Structure 1
């Protein structure tokens, strides 16, 4: 069972590689793996091998996408994402060199070495979520996934690992910004213990905590908009409002995360992996251009690994079952679909 803050099991301090502050990374080589030309060629050869099998792209796995050299480095990233600093980035694939289909399959091949299970991201079964600006309606333009505005720190609704492929970047802005939930916990535990108490109690609108302590691990799972709403996604009147203490706890998370954040300049072709159970993420505002490759386009996936996946608190298991359960419908849209809009989370917002 997950514990509530104040019990003896909650740690006073998390002293692990994952409790980092952004300023400790003096060089991006500490978290970016740059593929050599030979390694890119190996990925291309693996793609050819897989395509010769005549299988659907959703069936790509380590066994049918052989990476004898690159795979060893990806195994280290896999371990680091699950049990180390909680994130990693693979760089060196040029999206302009491939069709959308081939680029997507290369992405699936690389990420199959980080986690072997892929999750549905909505009730329709969409496996690939296209994060692109969309100002076609007021609703779309204010949705986190389709707006150009800065968004606050959050976790995705499900998935041990969140991954995204950058197909193209904006003309300016749109940086990936992450923060260690362990470092946030340490700050709050020292300076705002009352907020930790609020976050770890199952008194939120969906009757579960936002901070968990389970099997000797601190975990986070929350999004701000579903809890407080905004102008475009107001909370329904029949739902209870969060208390002032709960709101202050959310503010404390945001402030602490900003203190320890790491800003990552993303390049086309970058493949990010972050541990969704203790790494918070956001992006800054951005502005698209008019030229080729000047419109921000990410392809996001939610992942879990049979071997290194964490044991989950009971409160999170339904969301994971809805995402990763066997026999569920799956949709694979290589490019954005006009009808692809779906809510931020399954919780009302």
Structure 2
């Protein structure tokens, strides 16, 4: 394994710009009639069988008609631009349980779902359950309406399914980690090497029951010619509040501010307005994600509601030691810290309004 600090621009399909991608629809996969029919049929069987989400496997619910869909999804995640939007599911006709079942089946064919909260839920929700903002103590990014900074999640793949969109706003925003790096290298080559050095990250604000306050990871891994990024600068800055965490240097602070500035520059991100039924696959090491702020409908049943999966996807991607949220072992769902997990599909698609309030 060869680990290097690469101070040359990185090319390839992961080095995209949003303004260029937005001119085409190459990043959208439209389901065929055969694929749609198969997913609806298998999804209904999943609902009728009511399997335990912790033990069900892809082999239990084969989808041979979706072979091309699975191949294209895997190709874009593993060696392409790092994301794909799948369109065509009729979730407004299905109801949330069938929609969630189809989403979970698709996830099983791309990876292994892992727990997302202290209860061990494998299917989680992005929905505002209160009027908190990100400035409020204990606010969860998935449960507020604020704009979010670009960041990586705690998994190999993060997937979203849109059940209902917002009244206004709430676009999903993605930006290429490779393009951010290339821009930093072009503008401030003196700061770029710092991306390969470890930073302290706030573990406690991500996981209230974490055994330690922080963990450490570099922002960039470059091993055997494979580029990976792990980002979320707000977690680096908030880690500074804990005793014993070394203070950031002036250069590190300047780098982090430059990183955020570049990630938000017009033309770099791509914004997509989710339609009901849209499914977005994203490799956390290739692209960062965010969303714009949004307004909800007054009726609770019409509020913006996305389902979310975190997947472990073992594609042999080489990365430096202790990269990303390495303190979380991705594999078998960990024993929940708290009871109340929902491991049957009809329960899992229901929002826990107490969570995140």
Count of aligned residue pairs for this structure pair: 332
Q: Cα distance, 1:69 vs. partner?
A: 2.0
Pair 1:269–1:2, CA change in 2 (3 A): farther
- Mapped partners of 2:22, 2:111: distance in 1: 32
- Mapped partners of 1:33, 1:76: distance in 2: 8
Q: What TM-score, normalized by structure 2, do the two folds share? A: 0.82
Aligned residue in 2 for 1:133: 128
Q: Where do residues 1-349 of structure 1 align in structure 2 (5 Å cutoff)? A: 3=3, 9-27=5-23, 29-51=25-47, 55-113=51-109, 115-135=110-130, 139=136, 142-156=139-153, 158-204=154-200, 206-229=215-238, 235-236=241-242, 239-259=245-265, 260-291=268-299, 294-306=302-314, 308-316=315-323, 319=326, 321-325=328-332, 328-329=335-336, 331-332=342-343, 333-341=348-356
Q: Deviations over 1:137-173 (max 9, x none)?
A: 56478432222121111111x2111111111111000
Pair 1:99–1:21, CA change in 2 (3 A): same
- Mapped partners of 2:242, 2:354: distance in 1: 24
Q: Cα distance, 1:12 vs. partner?
A: 0.5
Pair 1:92–1:208, CA change in 2 (3 A): same
Q: Cα distance, 1:270 vs. partner?
A: 0.9
Q: Cα distance, 1:184 vs. partner?
A: 0.9
Q: What TM-score, normalized by structure 1, do the two folds share? A: 0.84
- Mapped partners of 2:231, 2:225: distance in 1: 20
Structure 2 stretches lacking a partner, 5+ long: 202-214
Aligned residue in 2 for 1:347: none
Alpha-carbon contact 1:151-1:282 (below 8 Å) kept: yes
- Mapped partners of 1:40, 1:60: distance in 2: 21
- Mapped partners of 2:2, 2:150: distance in 1: 23
Alpha-carbon contact 2:151-2:232 (below 8 Å) kept: yes
Pair 1:119–1:336, CA change in 2 (3 A): same
CA RMSD, aligned part only? 2.8
